[in-house]
A and B are shown apart, each in its own frame.
Chain A
Amino acid sequence: MIHFVLLISRQGKVRLTKWYSPYSQKERTKVIRELSGVILTRGPKLCNFVEWKGYKVVYKRYASLYFCMCIDQEDNELEVLEIIHHYVEILDRYFGSVCELDLIFNFHKAYYILDELLIAGELQEPSKKTVARLISAQDSLVETAKEQRSSISNIIAQATK
């Protein structure tokens, strides 16, 4: 089971956190501080696994971002690496060659995509295409709503002039 997902930039800025196991706010900050200390200091060409407090953290660096997932001792590290890669590919497809800025300004989108990929700390959707389709379907739902809203607010704005 995946206990949490973290995206940390090379400078140690947090870009995304998703917790599948209960952690209090205080614990969350502590976990991130500890882990970024461990992971960011590891050089390139080392293995992508870190043992940490009885758990394993699988991380992979894409450009300036570290994608980290914390898993149980007996989980399959290579599988999790693939999930990370999977996620990155979906993000890439969605944003069109994703970069850190995309994730900064669309942090919610990154969450929604992750939610389509994982549920309760387990992989739920192995197909990239399906995830992309689902996300765009939900986006179009939101878009129509937005159009409506803007038109309404236009109307109100005009009415109160």
Chain B
Amino acid sequence: MAGGTSSIMETLFQRTLDDMIKGLRLQLIGESAFVSKALDEIRREVKSTDPSTKSTALHKLSYLASLHFHDMSWAAFHVVEVMSSSRFSYKRIGYHAASLSFNDDTPVLLLITNQLRKDLGSTNEFEVSLALECLSRIATADLARDLTPEIFTLLSTTKLFVRKKAIGVVLRLFAKYPDAVRVCFKRLVENLDSSDPQILSAVVSVFCELASRDPGSYLPLAPEFYRILVDSKNNWVLIKVLKIFAKLAPLEPRLAKRVVEPICDHLRRTGAKSLMFECVRTVVSSFSEYESAAKLAVVKIRELLVDDDPNLKYLGLQALSIVAPKHLWAVLENKEFVIKSLSDGDPNIKTESLRLVMAMVSETNVVEIARVLVNYSLKSDPEFCNEILGSILSTCSRNVYEIIIDFDWYVSLIGEMSRIPHCQKGDEIENQLIDIGMRVQDVRPKLVRVARDLLIDPALLGNPFLHKILSAAAWVSGEYVEFSRNPFELMQAIFQPRTSLLPLSVMAVYIHSAFKVLIFCLHCYILQRESITSSCPENLVLGVSESVLKREMPEDSGLIRTTCEALPVQGDKGFNRRASNQSSEVFSVENGGDRTINHGQTSTPNFSEKSSFTYESIVKLINLVELAMGPCMGSHDVEVLERARNLLCFIEVIKGEITECLEHKEKKKESEEMKASEIIKLMSDAFSEELGPVSLSAQKRVPIPEGLELKESLDDLGTICADIQVPPSNDSNLFSLGSPYNGEEVGVSASELESKEESEPSNEATALLTDHRKRHGLYYLPSEKNEIVPNDYPPANDPKLRDNLNNDTEDLVKLTEQSLVTNKKPNHAKPRPVVVKLDERDVVTITAKRPEPNDNLLSGAVREVLLGSDTRTTTSQHNPPDKASSKRKGKEKLNVDPSSKLKEDLGDSEKPDHENPSSRRSKHRTHGKERRQKSPSKPAEERENNGQKGKQKSSHRARHKAQERADAPLNAVSQTPVIPDFLL
């Protein structure tokens, strides 16, 4: 009694939903406090035995869950309780809560199967509708399997209100339980003939959704869809049918031919924009090879574009971008409009038109379009500005700069883009600057100039987005310093005061570039001094080069002399020539020596510009570096610290000697001088190695040397190595198979420095160090890779090293061939410079979209059902000896096989059941459960089936008798000749 009273009290004093919402809105105690209080109440009320109290509590809870996102999974069991209430008003609340909160993992789902079954069979159509609604949301594989018979029954109920919902549920049913297709598909297809617009609309929607996942399976239904396309006046239905045809047409060209005319009719006739747009989209996406249709569609697109409604404008642009790949003329025709839309107020429209503009870009107009776009980007808001810049960069770099002919232009464009105030594309620009530097040799002089302009501008240092670009510029200036007009100026730019604003990683690149520049200057200075001493001072220019040439490359001297003669007149031209000359021998064995010559020559224009490498200037340079390195010595960043120290040590080593030998020039301390210049030469050689792009798969191509076990733990390696006592330089080589240069270079410099610093390197200590390094490799820097290459750019393949590492001659041959090909370049100006390409890297991988396994199951089932039905219909309509139809049958068999094979085993047990009950002879149509439960007990039938094939066929035939019946009148109504043609 007390319990009863309390429940009554609860009922009387329970807050209703209205009360709760009002309280929430008043917010006397704050929302979260109120909600938690309300949740406490609900927790108590929902346990009540009074259904009214319980359902009200649940109602409130679902309000909080759906609009305030409070978890209600804890109440799942109460939801089930309320669902099973006999009263409609409670039941509705329960079902609503279920469809809101249940998901596949909800444990209580197991409990509701019977409840759903009961409600699906209810006489109250609204209860049925609740159950269907809920099922469409929460059905799991188990639920779908258990309730398939009920849905099957509902698919042909006379209550249209229920039937259309059942049709909607089929979508979820098939997705969760593909085998339901075998049961329900026929009924579903029957509904295509319904005269009721609601049913038709529902069933076409379902097919549209199914076909979008796997169009091929629904090809046999084309005649039905065609009839709807021609007959229907309902725009909702037409739009869906058009979508289906957009999917089917590409699969069957004859179908496309047949369908294109009715679609054009709709396109011409319709006044509804949605239908018109759907027609346009269907035509441009799937029927673009039909010239007249495409033309008509483009006319309609134009109508959309000039409309005031921004929606239509946007859709028009979208349609244009679909049509662009195949009919570029359509875009060009509307070029003005597209360009104008770039300044539209709507960001979506702007983005869309930008996409279109990029679609128009080609070799011939890239300069012009880029100019227009850069101007637009200056005027637009930061976000769109970056979108523009991003798309320029990505379009131009597409397929290894396919559309760029004039790289000088492009490089200066990149420079210009970097200076746009809103530019945030630092990473991309950085990559491209370095990439172009490595791939395109001809553009290097220009690249260096652009990089210099960027480096020298103190204003750029303040913008954090540009730091990446500056890092690339510094790298370029260092790597290709031989093209620089004035290395001293470059050095000053690198060490200008505001560089302290740079992040440390960029600073490290700066210091390394400074190192390269310094080496270059010193090397030139030494060469120059040597030549002064060896040749007559009045003929300075020729003297330098000739002396060098005579020493190292006598056979080429003629060619180079002409270059030298041209030099004083035109610096640039000289550079280009030299660059081309150099490139042909870059991979030759006397690599280092070769570059040395070039260095000698590059110094020559500097003589003429009177900024030559005099003793004073070199000393000034060294002082500048020393001064600038001072603060870096206190850096916390290991990279910066290490590099700065390297640089300073190097200066320490050579400084004394250079000044000394200058002062005592007359005394000629030959040996000392040689030492300094040798070091410099070595360093210069190391830096002058060409870096090239490396394909991503390069590492894989290096065969693993015999006996090398990569998978084993390296722990015990330490002890082995300690015994061997390998010097560190070799060691680094061992571990940088992938990056040969670095190991080599570092090895050289390190050992060189070492031998300078300490006369006797203690072997014991190094061995210990090596040992330690092996053991605790984690705490060491990953590798010396970064020393040369600031970014992720691994150094180029080195044929020499490859040769040493693996005596695989074939590989070598291939490589040399490759290098020859890439470097083969005529001396004359060619329309487009050679761009080094690596095939693996640049191939765009097209990932074929594979349907999910579930879809496979589904489509397999659908095919099995449909194709079977098909065989039947055609054979019944036309004479079996029809050659075409028999051919088709064969083809379809093939199609079916792979997908339905999976099922074969599954289906085998069912097959006899299928074939028996609905046979033609018995004139007995049964379905679903009944059919399954029937046992194979018709000997008359069995006789007919000889062999597995015949069996299967007959089963199809039998099962789809209804389908056949449905088809027959249909075909009679619409043009009969059309349909067989479709099915071909």
Q: How far is the CA of A72 from the CA of B243 in the complex (A)?
A: 12
Interface residues of A in 122-139 (CB under 8 A from B): 122-127, 130, 134, 137-138
Interface residues of A in 1-37 (CB under 8 A from B): 1, 14-17, 20, 22, 24-25, 28-29
B170 to A, closest residue via Cβ: A120
User: Which one of B93, B136, B234, B315 has the highest number of Cβ atoms from chain A below 10 Å of its Cβ?
Assistant: B136
Contact across chains for A51 and B133 when beta carbons are under 8 A apart: no
Q: How far is the CA of A20 from the CA of B246 in the complex (A)?
A: 24
A60 to B, closest residue via Cβ: B311
Contact across chains for B133 and A115 when beta carbons are under 8 A apart: yes
Contact across chains for B88 and A125 when beta carbons are under 8 A apart: no
Q: How far is the CA of A28 from the CA of B68 in the complex (A)?
A: 11
A25-B71, A51-B348, A120-B172 known, 19 other contacts, Cβ within 8 Å: A15-B67, A16-B67, A24-B103, A43-B345, A45-B345, A46-B348, A47-B346, A76-B278, A78-B273, A104-B25, A107-B63, A107-B67, A108-B62, A119-B164, A123-B236, A134-B161, A142-B88, A142-B92, A145-B88
**Smallest CB–CB gap between A15 and chain B, Å?**
7
Question: Which residues of B have CB within 8 Å of A112?
Answer: 92, 96
Contact across chains for B311 and A81 when beta carbons are under 8 A apart: yes
Contact across chains for B88 and A47 when beta carbons are under 8 A apart: no
Interface residues of A (CB under 8 A from B): 1, 14-17, 20, 22, 24-25, 28-29, 43, 45-51, 72, 74, 76-79, 81-82, 104-105, 107-108, 111-112, 115, 119-120, 122-127, 130, 134, 137-138, 141-142, 145-146, 149, 153, 156-157, 160
A75 to B, closest residue via Cβ: B243
Q: How far is the CA of A29 from the CA of B349 in the complex (A)?
A: 28
A116 to B, closest residue via Cβ: B129
Does B165 make an interface contact (CB < 8 A)?
Answer: yes
Report B301-324 CB contacts with A as 1/0, cut-off 8 Å. 000000000110111000000000
**Smallest CB–CB gap between A98 and chain B, Å?**
16
Question: Which residues of A have CB within 8 Å of B234?
Answer: 126
> Which 10 A-B pairs give the minimum distances between C-beta atoms?
A78-B274, A119-B168, A47-B310, A122-B205, A142-B89, A47-B314, A120-B136, A46-B346, A145-B89, A120-B168
B9 to A, closest residue via Cβ: A160
Question: Which residues of B have CB within 8 Å of A134?
Answer: 161
Does B469 make an interface contact (CB < 8 A)?
Answer: no
Stretch at the interface among B196-204, B517-525, B793-801, B833-841: B196-204
Question: Which residues of A have CB within 8 Å of B87?
Answer: 145
CB pairs A–B below 8 angstroms (17 shown): A16-B66, A22-B104, A47-B346, A49-B311, A49-B315, A74-B243, A74-B246, A77-B311, A78-B274, A78-B315, A104-B21, A107-B67, A119-B136, A123-B201, A124-B205, A134-B161, A153-B8
Contact across chains for B274 and A119 when beta carbons are under 8 A apart: no
Interface residues of B in 545-567 (CB under 8 A from A): none
Question: Which residues of A have CB within 8 Å of B118?
Answer: none
Interface residues of B (CB under 8 A from A): 5, 8, 11-12, 17-18, 21, 25, 52, 59, 62-63, 66-69, 71, 87-89, 92-93, 96, 103-104, 126, 132-133, 136-137, 161, 164-165, 168-169, 171-172, 197-198, 201-202, 205-206, 209, 212, 234, 236, 239, 243, 246, 273-274, 277-278, 281, 310-311, 313-315, 345-349
Q: How far is the CA of A76 from the CA of B197 in the complex (A)?
A: 20
Contact across chains for A47 and B133 when beta carbons are under 8 A apart: no
Q: A115-B133, A122-B202 are in contact. Are A49 and B314 (CB under 8 A)?
A: yes
Q: How far is the CA of A62 from the CA of B346 in the complex (A)?
A: 20
Q: How far is the CA of A17 from the CA of B5 in the complex (A)?
A: 38
Q: How far is the CA of A17 from the CA of B96 in the complex (A)?
A: 12
Question: Which residues of A have CB within 8 Å of B21?
Answer: 104-105
Contact across chains for A120 and B8 when beta carbons are under 8 A apart: no
Question: Which residues of A have CB within 8 Å of B12?
Answer: 153, 157
**Smallest CB–CB gap between B67 and chain A, Å?**
5
Partner of A157, one of B8, B103, B346: B8
Question: Which residues of B have CB within 8 Å of A104?
Answer: 21, 25
Question: Which residues of B have CB within 8 Å of A51?
Answer: 348
Contact across chains for A25 and B69 when beta carbons are under 8 A apart: yes
B124 to A, closest residue via Cβ: A141
Q: A107-B63, A107-B66 are in contact. Are A160 and B311 (CB under 8 A)?
A: no
Question: Which residues of A have CB within 8 Å of B69?
Answer: 25, 28-29
Question: Which residues of B have CB within 8 Å of A50?
Answer: 348
Q: How far is the CA of A141 from the CA of B126 in the complex (A)?
A: 9
Question: Which residues of A have CB within 8 Å of B209?
Answer: 1, 122
Q: A25-B71, A112-B92 are in contact. Are A76 and B239 (CB under 8 A)?
A: yes
Question: Which residues of B have CB within 8 Å of A126?
Answer: 197-198, 201, 234, 236
Partner of A119, one of B62, B88, B93, B165: B165
**Smallest CB–CB gap between B72 and chain A, Å?**
9
Contact across chains for B164 and A125 when beta carbons are under 8 A apart: yes
Q: How far is the CA of A15 from the CA of B25 in the complex (A)?
A: 13
Partner of B126, one of A28, A111, A137: A137
Q: How far is the CA of A63 from the CA of B161 in the complex (A)?
A: 32
**Smallest CB–CB gap between A152 and chain B, Å?**
9
B90 to A, closest residue via Cβ: A145
**Smallest CB–CB gap between B119 and chain A, Å?**
14
**Smallest CB–CB gap between A155 and chain B, Å?**
11
B51 to A, closest residue via Cβ: A149
Question: Which residues of B have CB within 8 Å of A76?
Answer: 239, 243, 274, 277-278, 281
Question: Which residues of A have CB within 8 Å of B172?
Answer: 120
B169 to A, closest residue via Cβ: A120
Question: Which residues of B have CB within 8 Å of A160?
Answer: 5, 8
Q: How far is the CA of A48 from the CA of B347 in the complex (A)?
A: 12
Q: How far is the CA of A30 from the CA of B349 in the complex (A)?
A: 26
Q: How far is the CA of A22 from the CA of B138 in the complex (A)?
A: 9
Contact across chains for B348 and A49 when beta carbons are under 8 A apart: yes
**Smallest CB–CB gap between B140 and chain A, Å?**
11
A82 to B, closest residue via Cβ: B274
**Smallest CB–CB gap between B151 and chain A, Å?**
12
**Smallest CB–CB gap between A10 and chain B, Å?**
16
Q: How far is the CA of A112 from the CA of B59 in the complex (A)?
A: 13
Question: Which residues of B have CB within 8 Å of A111?
Answer: 66, 96
Q: A47-B349, A122-B168, A123-B236 are in contact. Are A79 and B88 (CB under 8 A)?
A: no
Partner of A124, one of B198, B310, B347: B198
Question: Which residues of B have CB within 8 Å of A142?
Answer: 88-89, 92
Contact across chains for A119 and B133 when beta carbons are under 8 A apart: yes
Contact across chains for B103 and A79 when beta carbons are under 8 A apart: no
**Smallest CB–CB gap between A26 and chain B, Å?**
9
**Smallest CB–CB gap between A161 and chain B, Å?**
11
B50 to A, closest residue via Cβ: A153
Q: How far is the CA of A17 from the CA of B101 in the complex (A)?
A: 12
Contact across chains for A47 and B348 when beta carbons are under 8 A apart: yes
Contact across chains for B89 and A47 when beta carbons are under 8 A apart: no
Contact across chains for A138 and B126 when beta carbons are under 8 A apart: yes
Question: Which residues of A have CB within 8 Å of B133?
Answer: 115, 119
Q: How far is the CA of A88 from the CA of B702 in the complex (A)?
A: 67
Question: Which residues of A have CB within 8 Å of B63?
Answer: 107-108
Question: Which residues of A have CB within 8 Å of B310?
Answer: 45-48
A138 to B, closest residue via Cβ: B126
Q: How far is the CA of A157 from the CA of B349 in the complex (A)?
A: 65
Question: Which residues of B have CB within 8 Å of A24?
Answer: 103
Q: How far is the CA of A134 from the CA of B164 in the complex (A)?
A: 14
Partner of B311, one of A22, A78, A124, A157: A78
Question: Which residues of B have CB within 8 Å of A124?
Answer: 164-165, 168, 198, 201-202, 205
Q: A16-B67, A47-B313, A123-B205 are in contact. Are A138 and B136 (CB under 8 A)?
A: no
Q: How far is the CA of A3 from the CA of B198 in the complex (A)?
A: 21
Question: Which residues of B have CB within 8 Å of A146?
Answer: 89
